[in-house]
Structure 1
Amino acid sequence: MKFSFSSLVLAALWLPCLPLSAQQNADPNTLPEVVVTAQAQRESLTSPRVETVKEQLSKIPGGVAIIDAEDYKRGRATTLKDALDFAPGVFIQPRFGAEEARLSIRGSGIQRTFHGRGIKLMQDGAPLNLADGGFDMQAVEPLSARYIEVFRGSNALQYGSTTLGGAINFVSMTGYDASPLQLRFEAGSWDTFRAQISSGGVFGNADYYASFTHSSTDGFRDWSRQSNQRFFANFGYKLSDDVETRFYVTYVHTDSQLPGSLTKDQLESNPQQANAGSLAGKQKRDFDLFRIANKTTFTDGDQKLTVSSFWSWKDLDHPIFQVIDQLSNDFGVDVRYDSLADLAGHRNQFTLGLGATYGITQDNRFQNIAGERGLRTAENEQTSTNLDLYIQNSFYMTDTLALVIGAQGSYAKRDFEEEKIFGANNSADEDYWGFSPKLGLLWEVTPKAQVFFNASRSFEPPSFGELTAVGAAPGLVELDAQRGTTIELGTRGSTERVRWDLVWYYSWLDNELLSLGIPGVSPTQTVNAGRTIHHGVEAMVDVDLLRGIVSPWQEATVASGKQLGQDAIRGDRLFLRQVYLFNDFRFDGDGEFGTNELPGVPRHYYRAELIYEHPCGFYAGPNVEWVPQGYAVDMDSTLEADGYALLGFKIGYRTPKGLSFFIEGKNLTDETYAATTGVLKTAAANSAVFMPGDGRAVYAGIEWKW
């Protein structure tokens, strides 16, 4: 008898499941009872368990989601796209197969294909953004997170964010949920290698977690090598049952070659080539980041006070069209009070917070001579100050209907001090004030299904990336803050076999920050556009298509006889996981562009995974990523990126302790496509704006938990 290699692989993967399957199928007429003893778990006050956070987020009348890190750790977990691929409402596409990506929620920062804007990116509730609003994707390590919170739009008010996009919060592992020792290794196409060693534990009232990761890849494209080393650690101590403090330490060293964009002809003929200008200038983005933070939580029954603070230091070396040398220091503090005390005999949730951030950046510019510094072209100091006072109250008028009222007052200042290199001082400063109210309703139709509505304002002052001119004009560009009004209507919940999160939203934006250019300065300079519309649908629908295929389906019960939730169900299943985005972003009767669509983001985006799961930990199945139609890369709608469809497949075995492993194939049909694009005012046929996605690739990983 002959066996193929694939048969042997499948047999090896299925082997851990055989004892359980044999036991459950010994007598088809008798199902063994599964009894779970409910025990009280110790929980960190500063970093709650996933189950606790899910309950908290269910009280927000709008688009929110939580991503369990165990889900994305079942495959390659290298980039932010790997972690956020199935987060409803999030559009993320790498520029060249690495962390650097276009990250957008509801069209936030739509012109950005490099380090982000328009979203508050956080680590354990403290901002990772620089004080001016920009952020780096490389500052995040998905493998050290226990879960990820995603707050779309004004639903991030509880973290002091009022941008159009909202907030994404990576919550770290702690000693309460980490293994004493864990090793993980990933390897795959283009000499990709990734390794992690981590440890966590609890000692009396103290706990700790520490993780070190190394990742490197030659990249699919020429001049796209990446190398990253990250250290994340935290130490918590319970001063009493009601008081806990936790210290966080982060160090990141990252080197990234930048292959640049291609023309459409170049993309179609050879997507692996690098842009000639990027090669000649040896363009890169390298930086070191050191960050320390503290979070202290005081609880007293239904009341909680949280004090967070951080300091972040970043040293950036960035040869592009010029060499940018920046040294940044950012500081922040946030004080937040939460109360669950009843009001007038009704359930009530109240939040009041004050956040402040301050950042100072020494910015030096030089001529780029083959990646080396030439003559100095600029020397300046950029200072950002932000103050945010936020308040929100959820009052249950009945047992199932809550009225949510909130608001945020914001102040931002951008101060630019330029040294007199060429005999002129072009110093300037800008002040921005914003008031962002919010009104919502949350109706709990059943204990597991909700309908919600909210209306809100958004406010986003420009970052220095928009305020500083890239052409001949010195000083600051005069820009207004981007403001908007958003309404959203949605539902979320679950039945026995279906889980869903569906949201429709409509935003009217004023002064959107778009790169429409300034004559005589730069054709890509950011300015305030006229009114624009951001309208869309965010959908997530998960379905158990089949249950009890080879392992009979049964429900676990606690010793008291009460049933546990859906997560406690035992048995195998065929599971369809899917997210869909409808993005209708356009000008609203603009004098030059009429009602043209805003470029850079596809109108339709669909991602799905069909997975067979066995309770022993085995899983396998295909996945697809589909952009069914082309989309514009310029405001004039003269040039388009083509639609595409990608096929992948994943197979593996994952267990809470011991050995876990996976094999994952991506873009198995070797599709040539643009993962994302640049954004122009007017494009020509030979405009280099296309960023190729990776070709066919295979990755494998192994993990051991003690």
Structure 2
Amino acid sequence: MRVLLLPLSLACLTTSHLSHADSTPLSLPTQVVLGSQQNQPDARLPLTRDSVSGAQLQPNALGANLSESLQRVPGILALNRENYAQDLQISSRGFGARAQFGVRGVRLVQDGIPLTMPDGQGQPALFDLDTLDRIDVLRGPLAALYGNASGGVIQGFSGEGPFYPTLENRTAVGNDGLWRSRLRYGAQHDAVNIQTSLARLETDGYRDHSATRRDTGSLRLGIDIDDVSSLTLLFNALDQPDTQDPLGLTADQLRADRRQAVAGSQVFNTRKSVRHQQGGMNYQRLLSNADQITLMIYGGTREVQQFLAFPGSGQFSGGGVIELDRRFGGAELGWQRQTVAFGLPVELAAGLTWDYQGEERLGFVNAQGRKGNLQRDEFNRVQGRDAYLISTWTLHPDWTLTAGVRHSQVRFSSDDDYLQDSNDDSGSSRFSQTNPALGLSYQWTPALSLYAAIGKGFETPTAQELAYRPTGSGLNLDLGAARSFNRELGLRLRQARTEVTAALFDTRVSDEIVTGPNQAVTGRNTFINAAESTRRGLELSLNQQLDHGLSFYAAYTYVQARFDSYQSEGDDFSGNRLPGVPRHSLFSELAWQVPDSNWRTALEAQGMSQRYANDANADSASGYAVFNWHASYRHSIGGLNLEPFVRVNNLADREYVSSLIVNGPGGRFYEPAAERSWLAGLSLEYQWR
């Protein structure tokens, strides 16, 4: 069965297939065949897109962190904090580098269902890596057509279950009590295709006070209703109780003992518990006039309890224990048509979206690791409404024009129910933006295509960034949205054994959201708008197939990211580099698939240049280069497939800083990476025929 899924918010930005010589209309790439092999990006669409699939998705790695596969994508930094309480740090062309937990500035989507909330905050732990077939990463001006994000989109596509019933177990163990095991089942049952998985991860953590247990589960049902319609049902869940948080280290603490936890983490028993469930449906139907419609509906719940490293007992402090009880959901209705306008083939896509999140936010005193008196009680809402129209015009067999516009409205509101402080902090804030995007591509030769694109984007504050004022209590409703103007030039060269991509980009941002003055008494971060910033850079990738089963891949990124105009509390940061953004970053891999054998091995190299830790550029993390090695062997015995694997990271035992807590309070910026570490595992798969 080939189940079709149509994520309409991605309406014209995925792939279609049309050879250079083909004179048929360019197919708008709205529908994605799940379970198919990795599709090549259409050379006639003016966008920057990279796909990760196959062995690249889980390169003999743990299989729990998106950073394992995204590190090979140019323009993307996917960093493991060695701290599961704060999730991964992911940024795109500098957008999102300031996020102190989770992901912002980059939209996360799986199977058309958003994993990014309406306020722009996303959690990469929600990706079900165990069932993914591929990950697409989009950057550049046309990414603005996705809505509330400036850095692009990371979209995962689940694979179909195999035709024959298949049961697989994959277990891995490593340093520091690391253990993860998953159980996955897939099969075709008449018109229903099923893919489901359960997994558990446990670790004592590289650093003190960083123990974690994470349980995940997912279910995907693909249903062929008839010849012209299909339905996909999705459900996933995450349960991560009492994940210890060692907090960031100062430079002196890093030098003294890189594995230590901050003293306050022990006193206040800093930790986070998360329970998340969400489900969705995606219905697609082809109408008699060749129009195509799609309806997507999703919803879920998220419960969070977090113990911070201070009591939070002051009058306006809001507490040192945060409890969030969130309900969220949304829907999208889309339409697509092929037609002719002004004598030219054109394809149109249009749609309406609605998203909602409502959460009760409570704050309590942290009484040395126990929940104390109530300090905050409010109900916050975020509602988003979008409308978009996208067109792709075949101007000539060699020339293609893509034009689109998206109008977005996002409204934040808060009802304050904590009136013991004699303040009613209820209020609301509304953001509205119309973002156009335009791109032109030229197929110079069958192997080489060129493109140019421009577009506007915007990025609202997240609910967490609005949560605290520099003084007093209540939401920081003075915080505005950041707006960007993006330009890009690129090329793609694809020959029999060689693929090369290159992109030059220039992005101007006004009202950049940055870390402002720390809140009085608590020292927690608040946020303000800087005036202007610029990101200019270059992305390069090379994929070369060599003889004797060898292949070489490299991805290089150069980013010059600066504040053009930024003053705060009497300090002038104009001309300073954006913190958390390295000027140079590189990933490369030399892989060997042993001919006439099931052995595969690879040597990886990755590194980056210096990164500043704060807006003042007074503190920084040094650049580094590390090497990793992994190998696997696959063997079959009847219907049973066995695949043992091994991985060694940081072969030279280098000490370096993986991620930075940008503008972290008290100079606690540094989250060190593990030194040399090992991982070994075994996959067992049985198929009934």
Output the TM-score relative to the length of structure 1.
Answer: 0.86
For each residue in 1:653-696, what CA deviation from the matched residue of structure 2 results, as whole angstroms up to 9, or x when unmatched?
Answer: 25797222311100121111110112229x9xx82211100111
Decide whether aligned partners of structure 1 residues 306 and 55 sit closer, same or farther in structure 2, where only a CA change above 3 A counts.
farther
Which residue does 1:304 correspond to in 2? 292
Which residue does 1:586 correspond to in 2? 562
Alignment counterpart, residue 621 of structure 1, candidates 598, 602, 606? 602
Decide whether aligned partners of structure 1 residues 289 and 43 sit closer, same or farther in structure 2, where only a CA change above 3 A counts.
closer
Alignment counterpart, residue 331 of structure 1, candidates 329, 332, 339? 329
Alignment counterpart, residue 248 of structure 1, candidates 214, 227, 234? 234
Q: Give the 3-state SS of the residue equivalent to 1:612 in structure 2.
A: strand
1:123-202 correspondence to structure 2 within 5 Å: 123-157=110-144, 160-175=146-161, 180-202=166-188
For each residue in 1:484-513, what CA deviation from the matched residue of structure 2 results, as whole angstroms up to 9, or x when unmatched?
Answer: 100011112322222122211111100111
Q: Give the 3-state SS of the residue equivalent to 1:458 in structure 2.
A: strand
Alignment counterpart, residue 699 of structure 1, candidates 679, 682, 688? 679
Which residue does 2:460 correspond to in 1? 461
Of 379-388 and 516-525, more deviation after overlay is shown by 516-525
- The alpha carbon displacement at 1:459 in A equals 1.1
Alignment counterpart, residue 62 of structure 1, candidates 30, 47, 50? 47
Which residue does 2:509 correspond to in 1? 509
Q: Give the 3-state SS of the residue equivalent to 1:156 in structure 2.
A: helix
Which residue does 1:353 correspond to in 2? 351
* Uncovered stretches (5+) of structure 1, i.e. residues with no partner: 1-40, 550-571
CA distance in 2, matches of 1:86, 1:315: 33
CA distance in 1, matches of 2:601, 2:519: 55
For each residue in 1:19-68, what CA deviation from the matched residue of structure 2 results, as whole angstroms up to 9, or x when unmatched?
Answer: xxxxxxxxxxxxxxxxxxxxxx7454555146577256544311112211
- The alpha carbon displacement at 1:648 in A equals 0.9
Alignment counterpart, residue 670 of structure 1, candidates 649, 653, 665? 653
- The alpha carbon displacement at 1:436 in A equals 0.4
Which residue does 1:660 correspond to in 2? 643
- The alpha carbon displacement at 1:135 in A equals 1.8
CA distance in 1, matches of 2:611, 2:92: 17
Alignment counterpart, residue 83 of structure 1, candidates 66, 69, 77? 69
1:401-550 correspondence to structure 2 within 5 Å: 401-419=399-417, 420-469=419-468, 472-477=471-476, 478-517=478-517, 524-544=525-545, 546-547=546-547, 549=548
Q: What code does the residue aligned with 2:510 have? A: D
Of 386-395 and 128-137, more deviation after overlay is shown by 128-137
Q: Is the 8 A contact 1:352 1:391 kept in 2?
A: yes
Q: What code does the residue aligned with 2:87 have? A: E
CA distance in 2, matches of 1:235, 1:520: 51
- The alpha carbon displacement at 1:447 in A equals 3.3
Identity over aligned pairs, percent: 22
CA distance in 2, matches of 1:663, 1:53: 25
Which residue does 2:316 correspond to in 1? none
CA distance in 2, matches of 1:406, 1:309: 24
Decide whether aligned partners of structure 1 residues 237 and 65 sit closer, same or farther in structure 2, where only a CA change above 3 A counts.
same
For each residue in 1:321-343, what CA deviation from the matched residue of structure 2 results, as whole angstroms up to 9, or x when unmatched?
Answer: 31110000001101122334455
For each residue in 1:90-137, what CA deviation from the matched residue of structure 2 results, as whole angstroms up to 9, or x when unmatched?
Answer: 111121164812111122123113112111111211111222221222
- The alpha carbon displacement at 1:518 in A equals 6.5
For each residue in 1:213-236, what CA deviation from the matched residue of structure 2 results, as whole angstroms up to 9, or x when unmatched?
Answer: 111111111111111111100112
CA distance in 1, matches of 2:337, 2:682: 44
Of 118-127 and 99-108, more deviation after overlay is shown by 99-108
CA distance in 2, matches of 1:523, 1:327: 22
Q: Is structure 2 residue 285 aligned with structure 1 residue 272?
A: no
Which residue does 1:32 correspond to in 2? none
Decide whether aligned partners of structure 1 residues 342 and 188 sit closer, same or farther in structure 2, where only a CA change above 3 A counts.
farther
- The alpha carbon displacement at 1:69 in A equals 4.3
* Count of residue pairs brought into register by the alignment: 636
Q: What code does the residue aligned with 1:436 have? A: N
* Uncovered stretches (5+) of structure 2, i.e. residues with no partner: 7-31, 310-319
Decide whether aligned partners of structure 1 residues 177 and 272 sit closer, same or farther in structure 2, where only a CA change above 3 A counts.
farther
Q: Is the 8 A contact 2:411 2:428 kept in 1?
A: yes
CA distance in 2, matches of 1:543, 1:318: 47
RMSD: 2.3
Q: What code does the residue aligned with 1:181 have? A: L
Which residue does 2:583 correspond to in 1? 603
Decide whether aligned partners of structure 1 residues 416 and 69 sit closer, same or farther in structure 2, where only a CA change above 3 A counts.
farther
Of 347-356 and 633-642, more deviation after overlay is shown by 347-356
Q: Is structure 2 residue 277 aligned with structure 1 residue 290?
A: yes
Which residue does 1:385 correspond to in 2? 383
Of 84-93 and 324-333, more deviation after overlay is shown by 84-93
CA distance in 2, matches of 1:254, 1:347: 51
Decide whether aligned partners of structure 1 residues 410 and 177 sit closer, same or farther in structure 2, where only a CA change above 3 A counts.
farther
Q: Is structure 2 residue 197 aligned with structure 1 residue 211?
A: yes
Q: Is the 8 A contact 2:59 2:68 kept in 1?
A: no
